[in-house]
Amino acid sequence: MKYVYLFSEGTGKMRELLGGKGANLAEMTNLGLPVPQGFTVSTEACTRYYEDGESINAEITAQIEEYLKKLEGITGKKFGDAANPLLVSVRSGSRASMPGMMDTILNLGLNDEVTEGLATLTNNPRFAYDSHRRFIQMFSDVVMELPKSRFEVIIDEMKKEKGVRLDVELDADDMKALVQRFKAFYKEQKGASFPEDPRAQLIEAVKAVFRSWNNPRAVTYRRMNDISSSWGTAVNVQSMVFGNMGEDSGTGVAFTRNPATGERKLYGEFLMNAQGEDVVAGIRTPQGIDRLASVMPEVYGQFTKIADTLEKHYRDMQDMEFTIEKGKLYMLQTRSGKRTAAAALKIAVDLVSEGMRTKEEAVLMVEPKQLDALLHPQFEPAALNAAQALTSGLPASPGAACGAICFTAEEAKALSKSGPVLLVRQETSPEDIEGMAAAQGILTARGGMTSHAAVVARGMGTCCVAGCSEISVSEAGKTLTCNGKVLKQGDFMSIDGSTGKVYVGKLPTIEAQISGDFDVFMGWADELRTLKIRTNADTPADAAKAVEFGAEGIGLCRTEHMFFEADRIMPFREMIASETTEQRKKALEKIEDMQRADFEGIFAAMDGLPVTIRFLDPPLHEFLPQDEDGMKELAGAMGFTLERMRSIVNSLHEINPMLGNRGVRLAVMYPEIAEMQTRAVINGAINAQRKGVKVLPEIMIPLVCEAKELKLVKDIVVSTAEAVMAAEGVKIDYLVGTMIEVPRAALTADEIAKEAEFFSFGTNDLTQMAYALSRDDAGPVLETYFAAKIFESDPTARFDRAGTGKLVKMAVELGRAARPDIKLGVCGEHGGDPSSIEFFHGVGLAYVSCSPFRVPIARLAAAQAAVKSKE
């Protein structure tokens, strides 16, 4: 088995085997560009390393040795030879670019003896000793977990002793002394001498790269970016060139276009007489890349030509690293450059107009989730980089928010009049809805990606961090405690709903802004996609917002959400607490007027687009009052004693409300609810139609697990609708369908399809049932499972193809077999997740539905799925 490849043996297409960096080095070599040569230890070696219980076997060691010899042959230098030393850099490089992995180690191959040789050879002892101390520092930090900062202390002591301020003021002897002090410190800390054998250094460095694949930062990054842990990382071993060999040397980084704006102009910076780490350290200020034209015109000319070649070759904006050693240019790396959302859009649009890319290709060049940055406020990047997070939770609804914290919905409403607020809750409930609407952001200690707070916040487009388990909230004490810090009402905090990070104090935000390229780009996405994108919207306002974002219908109108508001919740509670059909009908009458008006408004907002209205599906415990005051109020409204109300609330208590009496079960138990809702839908539609609106209502029955229950409720709907239409003398075309959100519904979808004109997959509940994991209680389990690498992603956020996906596929096949023209869609939270959308496209659904702010993301993801599936 071949585990090691010379750069000249690879190609740009071998990313999976060589990693992105290795493949690009191979490609640049093949293009004849000036690349310091080296070799790549493949990702398969990494996989093997883990299979062998985190050890590098003899076969791989032998191949590294063999390729080291080949590299010696190419460079004409010898590893560990003081007379003519080969020094190398060691870098990680996985298939996808992945921050959080191992840093670079430079100057590997140095020891006391080789350093002396280098000093002689270059006639530059300070350079040699400086290189050696840098190597010890990097190797200790990266390979041996002895932090760099511990060595900085020693440098500072040295500078104090010498009475100087800057590193450059230390001379060759100082550097030589530092090397010895570093080694002594290393031995004291590690109980063993610093490894002097260059070959041992190399193997340890390779192992460190492999280990870094599984460090916590890398694992978290992979999970957030859907990167499989099975890919592994490659290791690039490249012969060193030195930018710090004098004023005819230097190093720099450049982009072929501006990564912040997308402008087509070389963008970057360089430092003369420096190594790469100096640019990063920020002690000396680098110069703009334009300046290189005057400093070294020939090199600049060569570099701009190479940049142009690379961009044309890769047909994308490139991010390049280079070094100039004694006037000679070397390319150390090229890759597709990271860019802001605005830049990504501009570059994609420009590359098409420049004839470099097709629309299909351009559409694949923007990560759908990047669009969030255009639609929501963000923290200023500089402030964000400087800030230290207090803790983090789940990135439940994107955007950035900063405000005075408060602990109840009432306070949030009150305080919001005098400035921005963050609502902090243990978990939110429907009663908090007005406080949530008043807040800039929402932070909860409990609950997952589909918890109440998360779902409602996404619907509102409000930033939310959920399930932040390290914080402890005392509503009574009006305090929040986290990692020893206590914050009280009115203190400022900042939360980032795109990363889940939570900060103390005020971080400045920048507003969302949609550029002109947005419409062009999204137009292409719309041309290319076949999946329709609908929205989840419960009010006319939400519906209008979603249409602005390009929604092509409502896939989910949750009729119980219409009753979250304070002035509406009372009749809803009365309905739930009714003991007789008469009481219930009385409460339903009050509700009917509100619903009809809502539906009419929604139909008007969606003129000509389909509107799927889900019949009531309230988990009862979310709607009933649990405290004394609430019970008193409700008892008063219904003319009951408090005692009786308590007994009603008690009798409606369920041990597992997610598995209780809700959805279609309520309509079976109380047919008058389904009758009322049908009248409200049909009358609302008739009113809208009379005003010239084109209405396309679709009535959706939730939580069905058996065809007969759907038939029973459908019969009620149809007979009620017919009666209303007959009375009004108007004909409305409407559909009756069901959600497929209970596993048994998927398993018996053929029977259910006989009664249902459409299926809408409720993937939230389907996932909960398939995993036996409640969205409300998943927090501690998910944390444990991520840490144990059992789950690589959160199945409530990214749809599970391997398991739950089989239920969806089965239901699609059974449903189509029974009713070939059945309309199929998704209305779970997964409808806004790009990876999930790709799956739904693949199984041939007609549409996905997501919250309004996710509609553009879904449009783009659907286009990408369509393009990819053609490939």
Asked if 566 touches a copy of itself (CB under 8 A), the answer is: no
Query: Given its phi and psi angles, is residue 101 left (phi above 0), alpha (psi -120 to 50 degrees) or beta?
Result: beta
Does residue 432 belong to the site contacting a copy of itself (CB under 8 A)? no
Burial 631-640 (b: 16+ CB within 10 A, else e): beebbeebeb
Compute how many other C-beta atoms are within 10 angstroms of the C-beta atom of residue 184. 13
Count Cβ neighbours within 10 Å for each residue of 667-680 and write b for 16 or more, e otherwise.
bbebbbbbbbbbbb
Q: Count H helices, E strands: the chain?
A: 36, 31
Q: Edge to edge, what strands does the sheet with 287-288 contain?
A: 287-288, 267-272, 250-255, 318-325, 328-336
Could you tell me which stretch among 45-53, 336-344, 454-462, 657-665 binds a copy of itself (CB under 8 A)? 657-665
**Which one of 312-320, 337-345, 515-523, 781-789 is the stretch in contact with a copy of itself (CB under 8 A)?**
781-789
Q: Which stretch binds a copy of itself (CB under 8 A): 19-27, 494-502, 577-585, 780-788?
A: 780-788
Q: Should residue 706 be labelled a site residue for a copy of itself when binding is judged by CB under 8 A? A: yes
Site for a copy of itself contains 770 (CB under 8 A) = yes
Angle between helices 125-142 and 112-122 (to 10 degrees): 140
Under 8 Å between Cβ of 848 and 825? yes
CA 565, CA 553: separation in Å to the nearest integer? 24
Of 265, 690, 731, 806, the one binding a copy of itself (CB under 8 A) is 806
Distance CA 416, CA 765 (A): 34
E-assigned strands of 273-338?
A: 287-288, 318-325, 328-336
Return d(Cα 210, Cα 438) in angstroms, integer: 48
Residue 293 in contact with a copy of itself, rule: CB under 8 A = no
Looking at the Cβ atoms of 91 and 452, the one nearer to a copy of itself is: 452
> Minimum CB separation from a copy of itself for residue 23, in Å?
30
* Residue 843 near a copy of itself by CB under 8 A: no
Q: Which is nearer to a copy of itself, 2 or 806 (CB)?
A: 806
867 is a site residue for a copy of itself (CB under 8 A): no
772 binds a copy of itself (CB under 8 A): yes
CB of 441 to a copy of itself, least distance (A): 24
Neighbours of 751 (CB within 10 A): 17
The piece of 402-410, 414-422, 455-463, 660-668 that touches a copy of itself (CB under 8 A) is 660-668
Q: Which is nearer to a copy of itself, 310 or 466 (CB)?
A: 466
Helix (H), strand (E) at residue 693: none
Which residues does the annotation mark as catalytic?
A: 452, 827
Q: Is 668 among the residues that bind a copy of itself (CB under 8 A)?
A: yes
* Helix/strand/coil for 330: strand
Query: CA-based Rg of the chain, rounded to a whole angstrom?
Result: 32
C-beta closer to a copy of itself: residue 694 or 806? 806
Q: Which of 531, 807 has the CB closer to a copy of itself? A: 807
For 467: left if phi > 0, alpha if psi spans -120 to 50, otherwise beta; the answer is left
Quick one: angle between helices 15-30 and 43-51, nearest 10?
150
Select the span of 433-441, 585-593, 663-671, 854-862 touching a copy of itself (CB under 8 A).
663-671
Query: What is the smallest separation between the CB atom of 587 and a copy of itself, expressed in angstroms?
Result: 19
Closest CA to 91 of 68, 107, 69, 73: 107
Spell out the residues 6+ positions from residue 342 whose beta carbon is closer than 8 angstroms to its own. Answer: 260, 261, 262, 373, 374, 513, 515, 517
Q: Does 804 bind a copy of itself (CB under 8 A)?
A: yes
Among residues 451 and 864, whose Cβ is nearest to a copy of itself?
Answer: 451
Contact between 366 and 348 under an 8 Å Cβ cutoff? The reply is yes
Of the residues 42, 536, 748, 764, which one makes contact with a copy of itself according to CB under 8 A: 748
# residues near a copy of itself by CB under 8 A: 49
Q: Which stretch binds a copy of itself (CB under 8 A): 90-98, 364-372, 384-392, 774-782?
A: 774-782
Q: Which of residues 590-649 bind a copy of itself (CB under 8 A)?
A: 621
Compute the least distance from the CB of residue 737 to a copy of itself, in Å. Answer: 18
Beta carbons of 225 and 101 less than 8 angstroms apart:
no
* Binds a copy of itself (CB under 8 A): choice among 661, 728, 730, 735: 661
Binds a copy of itself by CB under 8 A, chosen from 434, 657, 816, 842: 657
How many other CB atoms are there within 10 angstroms of residue 298's CB atom?
Answer: 9
Give the count of beta carbons closer than 10 Å to the beta carbon of residue 387. Answer: 17
Q: Does 765 bind a copy of itself (CB under 8 A)?
A: yes
- Min dist CB 719 to a copy of itself, Å, is 13
Q: Per-residue string for binding with a copy of itself, 111-150, x by CB under 8 A?
A: ----------------------------------------
The Cα–Cα gap between 672 and 666 comes to: 10
Residue of 27, 372, 560, 800 that binds a copy of itself (CB under 8 A) = 800
Q: Tell me, what amino acid is at 357?
A: R
Dist CA 796 CA 778 (whole Å):
9
As measured in angstroms, the least distance from the Cβ of 866 to a copy of itself is 27
**773 is a contact residue toward a copy of itself (CB under 8 A):** yes
Q: How far apart are CA 532 and CA 552, in angstroms?
A: 7
Query: Would you count residue 744 as binding a copy of itself (CB under 8 A)?
Result: yes
Comparison of 625 and 697: residue with beta carbon closer to a copy of itself: 625
Cβ proximity to a copy of itself, 183 vs 830, nearer residue? 830
| Beta carbon nearer to a copy of itself, 113 or 750 | 750
> Minimum distance between the CB of residue 715 and a copy of itself, rounded to whole angstroms?
11
Q: Is 473 in the site for a copy of itself (CB under 8 A)?
A: no
Q: Closest Cα to residue 93, out of 187, 190, 20, 199? A: 20
Min separation Cβ 618 and a copy of itself, Å: 15
When the beta carbons of 134 and 614 are compared against a copy of itself, the nearer one is 614
**Residue 622: which region, alpha, beta or left (left: phi > 0; alpha: psi -120 to 50)?**
alpha
Are 255 and 244 spatial neighbours (Cβ–Cβ below 8 Å)?
no
Q: Give the type of residue at 423.
A: L
Q: Is 785 in the site for a copy of itself (CB under 8 A)?
A: yes
Q: Is residue 771 near a copy of itself by the rule CB under 8 A?
A: yes
* Residues in CB range of 579: below 8 A, 6 or more apart: 648
Residue 444: CB minimum distance to a copy of itself, A: 13
Asked if residue 514 binds a copy of itself (CB under 8 A), the reply is no
Residue 777 near a copy of itself by CB under 8 A: yes
Which stretch, 59-67, 173-181, 540-548, 779-787, contacts a copy of itself (CB under 8 A)?
779-787
| Binding range to a copy of itself, per CB under 8 A, among 78-86, 168-176, 557-565, 654-662 | 654-662
The only residue of 210, 213, 524, 791 in contact with a copy of itself, by rule CB under 8 A: 791
Tokens representing 835? 């990876």
Smallest gap from residue 50 Cβ to a copy of itself (A): 14
β-strands 471-474, 479-482 pairing:
antiparallel
Question: Can residue 656 be called a binding residue for a copy of itself (CB under 8 A)?
Answer: yes
Quote the tokens at residue 662.
Answer: 């809700």
Binding of a copy of itself at residue 747 (CB under 8 A)? yes
Amino acid at position 140, single letter: S
Note the maximum CA span of the chain. 103
Q: Which is nearer to a copy of itself, 685 or 705 (CB)?
A: 705
β-bridge mates for residue 333, sequence order: 321
d(CA 653, CA 666): 15
* Residues at the interface with a copy of itself (CB under 8 A): 621, 654-661, 665, 668-669, 703, 705-706, 708-709, 712, 741-744, 747-748, 751, 765, 768-774, 776-777, 780-781, 784-785, 788-791, 800, 802-804, 806-807
